[in-house]
Structure 1
Amino acid sequence: MVEDTPLHVCLVAVPGSLLLPIAGLYEVLTAFPVVAGFHEGVPSSPPFAVEIVGTAQTNVPAASGLPITIQRAVDRIERTDIIIVPTMAVEERWEAGRHPELVAWMQRMHAQGAMLCSACTGLGLLAETGLLDGRQATTHWAFGPGFRQAFPDVELRLDEVLVTAGHREEFAMSGGAASWQDLVLYLIGRFVSPVAAQAIAKFELLERHAEGQAPYLPFLPQTQHGDAMVRNMQNWLETNFAVASPVTEMTGRSGLSPRAFERRFKRATGLSPIGYVQQVRIDEAKRRLEQTDLPIDQISWEVGYEDAAAFRRLFKRIARVSPGIYRRKFATDRPA
């Protein structure tokens, strides 16, 4: 439980920030007096004092064009407890150096003990501080390839929806666009109480993504590796993934020994041949679960697994949910 003095929280806004995560974080972190009237486990006095901050006290355009009001400039903030960088519109690769004053300010605040957080693509600005080098982090899966190029020293965990790091767990990062909900519930549970976090979640209809980003994560294979032979095998596998022994078939087509082929394939793609085949097959199974009414056992057979039980185990290991749950979650053309 927090002390009587509220924790000071800064929501960082820049031109191109998304308005919804900022508004959502602000309103949930300040909702305690309302929710307290419905749940005795929620304190009536606000445990957080929240401000939207930026380089100047002005209005900046959100990615949608709607205005975001910056309530205080960071050069007027000498101390804070928690800094959150929410989602912002970015190019395919993070363009560093656009907000040096914010990066320097976050470094100073961290040195004074502040916790640094990000939601979705806000991770890029947090990573510019250099404080995440050698640590794990997460962001939106679509931002992953460009982020890795810009910040190779940060270990991305795109399968996770929430990652904490640091010896004090002074860094907390959430993944996809709606994962600001996971972040805000984590902060409430940590600094107020788990009971309050649960009550806020139920009152606001917030959803925790307990299975991480894995169910949402498409298979995005590495293809720009410069190995023509491996690329040909990848192309062949796109339409032949269901054959009985695809790894044996690819090895024979390569003209290499099994060990040499495996080393070369993994060096190019980052995955072993069998691991790559499994990803391709499960990705295709996801598509069929979403778009067809075929029985799961039939989908298992069509993507290359005669043993439906083994298919279900593999699917859950990769997607973190069973095929049946995945279908209920993502099947198209469902009535309201």
Structure 2
Amino acid sequence: MNRQQPARVAILAMPETSASVVYGMYDMFMSAGRDWKLIVDGQPGTPVILPQVVSRHGDCFVAANNVKITPDAPLAACMSADVICVPELMVAPGESLDGRFQEEIACLQSCYAAGKLLATACSGAILLAEAGLLNGQEATTHWAYCDVMTRRYPLVKVRTQRALVASGEGQRLIMAGGGTSWLDLALYLVARLTSIEIAMQTARLNLVDWHDIGQQPFARLARTRQAEDALIARCQTWIADHYAEPAPVAAMVQLSGIAERSFKRRFQHATGMSPLEYVHTLRLEEAKQMLESGALPVEAIANQVGYEDPGFFSRLFRRHVCLTPAQYRKRFGTMRSALEMRR
């Protein structure tokens, strides 16, 4: 890239994207190099990144959150950009993409072949997977889509815990995880396209807090949605109310009326998780709620969700959530209290 000229970033907008991410990225890129000097010197600096919003035909459309988006150019403009950013796709996890986004996918394939950098936010990484660009590569996406990506694209090395992943030849495939981790993506791109100092100035101006803990603490029960297998669904319904009981997996096996080995294999196929992993997930999610909303000691919470050994519970919690129970309570309990006070 010619650093003597502003970097050019194309933000790919579709009816399935939300305007907040599209224009949030746009504002962040336009701020780089311009707004810090305005604050410090009283005069705006020269923008170091020039973003533009592109869409399939360049025509206005209404985004997924009912906001009108007015693109600057059609897809062809991506070929003159240095970076193509894909915001999230507001489609249900597992929803078929057959026949959709074909033109966008072809554009991404051509741009990558031409040596351009591709960056995605949230579920936008699904388009890179559909394009075959992530085969054999590390990747991340919104936590609710990680299991879907793992099953649908088995050649992709999905890193569920990480909020930002750079992979591919020359690390030209950049993916951010869920929610506001698009801010991390934008800052990373500012640093990569310009300098770390400009990225830090942009972060200070916009009060951006880097998601250094990844996205596991935010994950909820996306992986536990009801299975289509009626027998397994009946066990899911039962365990939702009995996860704290002793030997819950054995109880589900008995409820199913089939052999243990067959039950475990069938449960894994239906839910993507082993029965024990499923129980741990339910227990940990309940523990998160209790840590957020109450002041019970960690030992008492461990006992209430089904763990007799508080040490084992704490180690399991940290392994799955990437925070200790105490750290989780401090971060999210404080947040919940502040929100409740302002209701």
Alignment of 1:19-58 (within 5 A): 19-31=19-31, 32-36=33-37, 44-58=45-59
Structure 1 residue matching 2:54: 3-state secondary structure: strand
Whether 2:15 is the aligned partner of 1:15: answer yes
Q: What residue number does 2:288 align with?
A: 286
- The 3 A distance-change label for structure 1 pair 200 and 78 is closer
Query: What code does the residue aligned with 1:63 have?
Result: A
Query: Matches of 1:262 and 1:127 in 2, distance apart?
Result: 30
Whether 2:69 is the aligned partner of 1:68: answer yes
Whether 2:181 is the aligned partner of 1:185: answer no
Q: What residue number does 1:99 align with?
A: 101
Post-superposition Cα deviations, 1:206-231, rounded to whole Å, max 9, x if no partner, equal: 12211111111113226536383x55
Query: Matches of 1:91 and 1:276 in 2, distance apart?
Result: 21
Q: Which moved more, 1:287-296 or 1:164-173?
A: 287-296
Structure 2 residue matching 1:163: 3-state secondary structure: strand
Structure 2 residue matching 1:321: 3-state secondary structure: coil
Query: Matches of 1:251 and 1:99 in 2, distance apart?
Result: 43
Q: What residue number does 2:321 align with?
A: 319
Query: Matches of 2:80 and 2:212 in 1, distance apart?
Result: 33
Report how far residue 175 of structure 1 moved: 1.8
- C-alpha RMSD over aligned residues: 3.2
- The 3 A distance-change label for structure 1 pair 99 and 259 is closer
- The 3 A distance-change label for structure 1 pair 192 and 20 is same
- The 3 A distance-change label for structure 1 pair 122 and 39 is farther
Post-superposition Cα deviations, 1:133-174, rounded to whole Å, max 9, x if no partner, equal: 333322223345665666454444343322222131111111
Q: What residue number does 2:4 align with?
A: 4
User: Is residue 227–residue 268 contact of structure 1 (8 Å, CA) maintained in 2?
Assistant: no
Query: What code does the residue aligned with 1:14 have?
Result: M
Matched pairs, number: 333
With structure 1 as the length reference, what TM-score do the two structures score?
Answer: 0.84
Post-superposition Cα deviations, 1:25-80, rounded to whole Å, max 9, x if no partner, equal: 1111121221145579xx95433221111223332222233222211222255432
- The 3 A distance-change label for structure 1 pair 164 and 94 is farther
User: Is residue 3–residue 194 contact of structure 2 (8 Å, CA) maintained in 1?
Assistant: no
- The 3 A distance-change label for structure 1 pair 127 and 267 is closer
Whether 2:249 is the aligned partner of 1:221: answer no
Alignment of 1:80-159 (within 5 A): 80-92=81-93, 93-144=95-146, 151=153, 153-159=155-161
Structure 2 residue matching 1:139: 3-state secondary structure: coil
- The 3 A distance-change label for structure 1 pair 190 and 79 is same
Q: Which has the higher helix share?
A: 2
Query: Matches of 1:224 and 1:270 in 2, distance apart?
Result: 10
Structure 2 residue matching 1:168: 3-state secondary structure: helix
Q: What residue number does 1:305 align with?
A: 307
What are the ranges of 5 or more consecutive residues in structure 1 without an aligned counterpart?
none
Query: Matches of 1:253 and 1:141 in 2, distance apart?
Result: 31
Query: Matches of 1:270 and 1:64 in 2, distance apart?
Result: 31
- The 3 A distance-change label for structure 1 pair 22 and 314 is same
Query: Matches of 2:262 and 2:75 in 1, distance apart?
Result: 56
User: Is residue 117–residue 126 contact of structure 1 (8 Å, CA) maintained in 2?
Assistant: no
Q: Which moved more, 1:208-217 or 1:142-151?
A: 142-151
Query: Matches of 1:268 and 1:238 in 2, distance apart?
Result: 16
Query: What code does the residue aligned with 1:221 have?
Result: T
Report how far residue 94 of structure 1 moved: 4.3
Structure 1 residue matching 2:125: 3-state secondary structure: helix
Query: Matches of 2:303 and 2:3 in 1, distance apart?
Result: 58
Q: Which moved more, 1:282-291 or 1:109-118?
A: 282-291
User: Is residue 249–residue 275 contact of structure 2 (8 Å, CA) maintained in 1?
Assistant: yes
Report how far residue 254 of structure 1 moved: 6.6
- The 3 A distance-change label for structure 1 pair 48 and 94 is farther
Q: What residue number does 1:330 align with?
A: 332
User: Is residue 18–residue 87 contact of structure 1 (8 Å, CA) maintained in 2?
Assistant: yes
User: Is residue 59–residue 67 contact of structure 1 (8 Å, CA) maintained in 2?
Assistant: yes
What are the ranges of 5 or more consecutive residues in structure 2 without an aligned counterpart?
none
